[in-house]
Amino acid sequence: MPEQSLNIVTGAFGYTGRHIAARLLAKGARVRTITRRPGPAGSRIEAAPMSFDDPDALRRSLEGASTLYNTYWIRFEKGPVTFQAAVENTKILVKAAESAGVERIVHVSITNASADSPLPYFKGKGFVEQAIRDSRLSYAIIRPTLVFGSEDVLLNNIAWAIRRFPIFPIFGDGAYPVQPVFVGDVADIAVNAGAGSGNAVLDAVGPDEYSFEELARLVALFMGRRPKVLHVSPRIGFALTKLVGYAVRDVVLTRSEIDGLMAGLLVSRSEPAGATRLSEWLAENAKTLGRSYVSELRRNYRGGRYMK
């Protein structure tokens, strides 16, 4: 990578994008993000507004960049934030990148994204992948499974529940598989893909596959807890997550996320691309994991402006 080449990273003040940006900065690149946030004082990351309603401004923010690393997406719909809007916004971003002369896009998607999926998250991701394939940009589409790491929401909140409650409810039989991948490995895969030139679609999956119940038990084991696992129907499980959601003022999980988890969509048939084992990471981090609840609403909905 030439010194001081400019890269755009959406989500550089967020979770996965933060790790991508850190690696690019470490390689001597300039990083600009397109965001709703002002960004921390003294950050080496330049911030430009996420102005999907002003494609010209978006194009100017992208000018001079060689590669766009895109992590922009929403976890669930709320008010004007819809999956359809997120698809349209991403198309606007891709068009703006084309007209700004950006050469390559590294797009973070999800395993088993498909325009035919009945689940809106996976369906929207499928539409976005198609828009990227149809664009003039060279592309690498990175498809992670469940991403774990220090600022993660799902694993942290599983740990939070295990710390607080003597019972841990599992939707259905808990046998559905997950193959978690470390956020640092996803960032490495993305940055390596950015340095390439051909079109590629890569699953970013970790080395170990667990059933969801095994995953929860592994987290509990490293935390030194032994909650009673209670198998509940997805309907009852969803009602319980809603109850907890009222208490913590968050959407803990959506019904569609539960269905996606139970459909076993967070695994891949590809060779593991990430080397970090969840068990090794838990050995280092279980002490602090889940000490406080991480709210998706606070992180991505209440704090920032709603994005149409």
Question: What tokens does 178 get?
Answer: 């997950």
**Nearer to ligand NAP by C-beta: 37 or 242?**
37
Residue 27 engages ligand NAP in binding (rule: CB under 6 A): no
Q: How far apart are CA 294 and CA 95, in angstroms?
A: 34
Using CB under 6 A as the binding rule, the residues of this chain from 53 to 92 that contact ligand NAP are 71-74, 81
Residue 35 engages ligand NAP in binding (rule: CB under 6 A): yes
Q: Which of 29, 137, 140, 146 binds ligand NAP (CB under 6 A)?
A: 146
Q: Which residue is nearest to ligand NAP (CB)?
A: 14
Strand partners, 107: 70, 141
**Nearer to ligand NAP by C-beta: 15 or 176?**
15
Question: What tokens does 38 get?
Answer: 């002002």
Residue 189 engages ligand NAP in binding (rule: CB under 6 A): no
Residue 50 engages ligand NAP in binding (rule: CB under 6 A): yes
Residue 217 near residue 229 (C-beta atoms within 8 A): yes
Residue 182 engages ligand NAP in binding (rule: CB under 6 A): no
% helix, strand, coil for the chain, step of 5: 40, 20, 40
Residue 36 engages ligand NAP in binding (rule: CB under 6 A): yes
CA trace torsion 21, 27, 28, 30 (10° rounding): -30
Using CB under 6 A as the binding rule, the residues of this chain from 101 to 130 that contact ligand NAP are 108, 110
Quote the least distance from Cβ 151 to ligand NAP, whole Å: 8
Positions of E strands within 64-214: 65-70, 104-108, 138-144, 147-148, 167-171, 177-178, 181-182, 200-204, 210-211
Quote the least distance from Cβ 128 to ligand NAP, whole Å: 9
Residue 304 engages ligand NAP in binding (rule: CB under 6 A): yes
Buried b (16+ CB within 10 A) or exposed e, 246-285: eebebbbbbebbbbbbbeebbbbeeebbbebebeebbeeb
Residue 307 engages ligand NAP in binding (rule: CB under 6 A): yes
**Nearer to ligand NAP by C-beta: 81 or 218?**
81
Interface ranges with ligand NAP (CB under 6 A): 10-11, 13-17, 35-37, 50, 71-74, 81, 108, 110, 144, 146-147, 300-301, 304, 307
